[in-house]
Amino acid sequence: MAEQKQGQQPRDEADKPKPWRTEGVPDDKPSGASGSGERPPFSWRRFLLTSALIYLGLFGILSIQDSMTGPKEVAYTEFAKQVQAGNVKDVYARGDTIEGDLKAAAPLPEASGGETYTQFTTERPTWADDQLYAELTKQGTIVSAKPVTEQRGLLANLLVSLLPWVLIIGLWVWLMRRQAQAMGGMGGMGMRRKKSAPVDPEKVRVTFDDVAGIDEVENEIADVVDYLKHPDKYRALGARAPKGVLLAGPPGTGKTLLARATAGEASVPFFSASASEFIEMIVGVGAQRVRELFEEARKLAPAIIFIDEIDTIGRARGGSRAMGGHDEREQTLNQILTEMDGFSGSEGVVVLAATNRADVLDPALLRPGRFDRTIMVHAPDAKGRVQILRVHTRSVPLAADVDLDAMAKATPGMTGAELANLVNEAALLAAKAGQQQVTMKDFSEALEKVQLGAARNVVMPEQERRRTAFHEAGHALLGMLQPGADPVRKVSIVPRGRALGVTLSTPESDRYGYDEDYLKGRIIGALGGMAAEEVVYDVITTGAESDLENATAIARQMVGRWGMSEKVGPVTILPSDGDPRMMGISDKMLSTVDEEVRRIIDECYGRAVDQLREHRHQLDGIVTALLDAETLDEPEIYAAAGIERPRTIPADQEPARATVPHP
């Protein structure tokens, strides 16, 4: 599968806190529109503006209050007049500033209408030579050096008026955060959806035109698209759409893209979420999120809900595959089951889910009425890979020498995501070289980087370099000598990734089953490096670690899963996961499996050593060419070994053989 454009992000800022993403959701009705009947969404700008206006109002009120209740400012001559009249009760001096109280209210000199004062403040001129203190004490006036009122300044008024609002806002933010945590980010501000306008189908950017390589899967899911487009046709016959469709397959095969394309093809809103986003430490949050997700989808029906990696919450409850007690996970799963049961089939809401572990899902999810269909999405074949490469190279300028058919044949087993990465790597290499177009050489180098790893700048001693050449030559020679083995495509002693050298073998065409002879040939080829080191140097090094892992894994599956051992018989001993003892397998049977695995490995290793000793001159020829060129392509490898390249046999003309699934 392939995808050219990325998914559309939610446009409504109010939707951001929700734990799902949407596509094709209608534009919201402008706020303030009549007839909405709903409160407008929360706005930080409106909140801050309102808070500032309230603060300025309180600050002004406090300032006016201080000016009205403070002492009256009078002239010094008025003050001297009151002193002469004996009407001053007490004074409070601070520098040349005098404040005080009168014994009896006196009218203001400039006032009219009977305005009087009892508290006053005045400034004593510095050049005044009157005997003010003697006069005051003579009349029994209390004289003090403290002001009658400690009036707050500008900063004090600012702090007094601002501090309560700081406390209120802080408390409000704390409460909102607590509420958001309790509701999983779903509650509080900004969560009210405004009224919806008609859907614009052009805003859903992914359709079946962006999906390639899995035509049979498209045909299976086309029923859902047709129902969402023409529901009346089905309702007239009493039919209902599948409530749920499960997309199962390896990672990177395009399950998410297929779900988005289904929504885009039907021109309906698309709600997507990862199952892990529903899980929180607080019990009940996941179920709350599921309820809100299904509620939103029902409001905008017809719609599609897509849950990615559903095995995160949909694992079987109880049994050997259960992940232990987890109330939150089980409550979330129960809520999904309940919501899907609530569909009558006429709402037009279809649930799509994706997983690469369909075998661990709870049976309650897979029963009819919930996920009615399970669609397997496999890696594309050669024809599908060509279509995927064409989709991903739409916006990539290709040179005339680029052969997408040849690239498709050279990439067996690659998924849509891996092919997309291959195209991107080739484009990066072309851009780095300053080219205007991507050439076939760029694709070849990108394929080497993807399959073999990036080359490392490691200067190896000559002895280590020669030993690595014999190791890789052993892999290559045994791969060429085994009948029916995959052709050797490339051998290199340039360090790549974690390996000091690599040997690449790929089949001529896609293969879906393998017989016992082919698998033993794979083991012999894998042990070729270790065998070559023993034949030439009579030692075994740590470079064979990965080879031993691969050989042991193939042999163990041959004996324990595929019935390729006469001693064990045609029975399954080793499950795909879990402890075989949980299936009732005895320790004696497991010991027999180990013995048979050891027997197969020993036989294959013995054959590898014998063949390399018999063809030592061809081994030396490959090593000589490797030390000169460091990397050999397919024609160069066969020429160095003096072996004729096997003729390609079409897949439909190959002899029939007992086969097993891909190891």
Active site residues: 472
Whether the CB-CB separation of 593 and 559 falls below 8 Å is answered with: yes
Report how far residue 222's alpha carbon sits from residue 206's, in angstroms, rounded to the nearest whole number: 15
Nearest CA to 328 among 365, 363, 276, 281?
A: 281
Phi, psi dihedrals of residue 279, rounded to the nearest 5°: -90, 130
| Residue among 36, 18, 34 at smallest CA distance from 196 | 36
Tokens at residue 623, please?
């090593």
Q: Which residues are within 8 A (CB) of 346 and not within 5 positions of it... i.e. 6 or more apart?
A: 231, 235, 240
159: left (phi over 0), alpha (psi -120 to 50) or beta: alpha
Taking Cα atoms as reference points, which of 438, 23, 445 lies closest to residue 204?
23
Q: Which two tokens stand for residue 323?
A: 């992940």
What separation in angstroms does the CA of 240 have from each of 226, 303, 347, 369?
Answer: 12, 15, 10, 11
Q: Give the span between the Cα atoms of 572 and 532, in whole angstroms.
A: 34
The residues, ordered by sequence, that sit 6+ positions from 447 with a Cβ below 8 Å of its Cβ are 407, 410, 411, 422
- Residue 364 CB burial class (10 angstroms; 0-12, 13-18, ≥19): middle
Question: What is the rounded CA–CA span in Å between residue 295 and residue 339?
Answer: 9
Secondary element (H or E) of residue 469:
helix 462-481
